[in-house]
Amino acid sequence: MPETKKSTLALVAERAGVSIASVSRVLNGQPASVQLAERVRAAADALGYVPDASARTLKTGRTDQIAFAVADVGNPVYVKMMHEVERVVAKAGYRLVLSSTGADPQEQIGLLGSLNRGFADGLVLSPLRLSAELVDALRASRLPIVIIGTLPEDVELDNVRVDSMAGIMLAVDHLVQQGRKRIGFVNGPVDTNPGTARLSGYLTSMAEFGLAATADLQVAASDFTYKAGRKAAARLLGQSSPDAIVCSNDLLAVATLKELTERGLRVPDDVALVGMDNTDVAELANPSITSVDLGAARRGKAAAKLMLRRLADPAAGVKRVVIEPTLSVRESSVRAGVGAGQHISPGYEEVRA
């Protein structure tokens, strides 16, 4: 069993009877004679030597840490992203530092400040709201940043976005094919990025199919949670009688499902239901919920790869990746066991990430 006390390069060098430079070289795999390497390794083992991260960082400027900041750790979709980011960066030798900011842009600006202290080599950020001030702070930041989400065109930052317009279109198209006409929409807050994007997707899709998107068919929950979803769904069902409902995420969909069930409405017989994000809860729900897959895992993976690329070449040109959504058809949108389990994509070539 190796020593438990903290040891340093100098101690190892002393024990091996060589210079600390030699120890450093051997341990970093640089050329050295076999015998010297032998002795160094023996000494290092005996002392249980582990290099000190902060000293190395101070010298090299690298921390081997990547920060991941997300608005809501409670939302499964972010967990999915995080999981994937972690997987990719870990394989490249980086640790993931989780920085849960709230939804507030101000907090994220604070994060940027502390990032400049140098505790991470880069930041992957998935902001819910994108204030002008945050954009400025992002621009001014000294270290690599990858944004997951849509960005103004003139912001020169690596980012991966998803075509949520196309996502909603998939959902509406599918519902129309099932013979639905009065398609309701349970959105999240419209002052968020996803909120506005999905609303415009809904309006566009409805127009495309010549369906009326009347005001009574639309509600917005106060946030993207189950609880807010229950209230919003209740409001919707109080003011109209849709034969199908699209929800802005799966949590809202589960909430809507519950609300429907409690009112004695059957899913999908009376009302068809489609969620978004294709998280586990869509699969777990009863009936299982058809959901637009916005590629959370793919987005996480793409973002992580963009980060690794930028770290490898800080001068490289800005790169934007667009993820195409697909539709996972489940029980909630298809009558009596016909066609459930399908997987529908827009047919474009998926952007390689």
Partner DNA sequence: CTGTTAGCGCATTCAA
Partner DNA sequence: TTGAATGCGCTAACAG
Interface residue list for a copy of itself (CB under 8 A): 1, 4-6, 50-55, 57-58, 63, 65, 73-74, 76, 79, 82-83, 86, 90, 95-100, 113-114, 116-119, 140, 142, 226, 251, 254-255, 257-258, 261, 280-281, 283-286
Residue closer to a copy of itself (CB basis): 35 or 60:
60
Q: Which of 291, 349, 289 is nearest to 324 (CA)?
A: 349
Residue closer to a copy of itself (CB basis): 65 or 204:
65
d(CA 43, CA 69): 41
46 contributes a contact to DNA by CB under 7 A = no
Q: Which of 116, 64, 108 is nearest to 308 (CA)?
A: 64
Residue closer to a copy of itself (CB basis): 209 or 226:
226
45 contributes a contact to DNA by CB under 7 A = no
36 contributes a contact to DNA by CB under 7 A = yes
Residue closer to a copy of itself (CB basis): 213 or 267:
267
Residue closer to DNA (CB basis): 6 or 139:
6
Q: How many CA atoms lie within 13 A of 20 on its CB side?
A: 7
342 contributes a contact to DNA by CB under 7 A = no
Q: How far is the CB of 181 from a copy of itself (least distance, A)?
A: 26
52 contributes a contact to DNA by CB under 7 A = yes
Site map (CB under 7 A) of DNA, residues 268-287, x = contact: --------------------
Partner in contact with 22, chosen from DNA, a copy of itself, none, beta carbon below 5 to 8 Å by kind? DNA
d(CA 43, CA 57): 24
d(CA 12, CA 8): 6
Q: How far is the CB of 215 from DNA (least distance, A)?
A: 56
The answer to whether the CB of 3 falls within 8 A of the CB of 48 is yes
What burial letters (b/e) apply to 242-257, b meaning 16+ CB within 10 Å? bbbbbbbbbbbbbbbb
32 contributes a contact to DNA by CB under 7 A = yes
98 contributes a contact to DNA by CB under 7 A = no
A 10 A CB-CB count for 176 gives: 18
Q: Which of 227, 353, 238, 222 is nearest to 297 (CA)?
A: 353
Helix axes 250-262, 226-239, angle to 10 degrees: 50
Binding range to DNA, per CB under 7 A, among 31-39, 120-128, 249-257, 292-300 = 31-39
Q: How far is the CB of 205 from a copy of itself (least distance, A)?
A: 27
Helix axes 296-312, 76-91, angle to 10 degrees: 40
Q: Which of 2, 42, 45, 55 binds DNA (CB under 7 A)?
A: 55
Residue closer to a copy of itself (CB basis): 98 or 316:
98
Find the DSSP H helices in the chain: 9-16, 20-27, 34-47, 53-60, 76-91, 105-115, 132-140, 164-177, 193-208, 226-239, 250-262, 280-284, 296-312
Identify the sign of the CA torsion 160, 163, 167, 168. positive
d(CA 72, CA 79): 9
CA-to-CA dists, residue 79 to 73, 98, 131, 313, 351, angstroms: 7, 11, 24, 28, 23
Q: Which of 4, 5, 59, 315 binds DNA (CB under 7 A)?
A: 59
Q: Which of 136, 138, 102, 98 is nearest to 120 (CA)?
A: 98
Q: How far is the CB of 83 from a copy of itself (least distance, A)?
A: 5
Q: How far is the CB of 229 from a copy of itself (least distance, A)?
A: 10
Residue closer to a copy of itself (CB basis): 76 or 346:
76
Binding range to DNA, per CB under 7 A, among 5-13, 166-174, 177-185, 263-271 = 5-13
Positions touching DNA (CB under 7 A) are 6, 8-10, 18-22, 24-25, 27-28, 31-33, 35-37, 49, 51-52, 55-56, 58-60
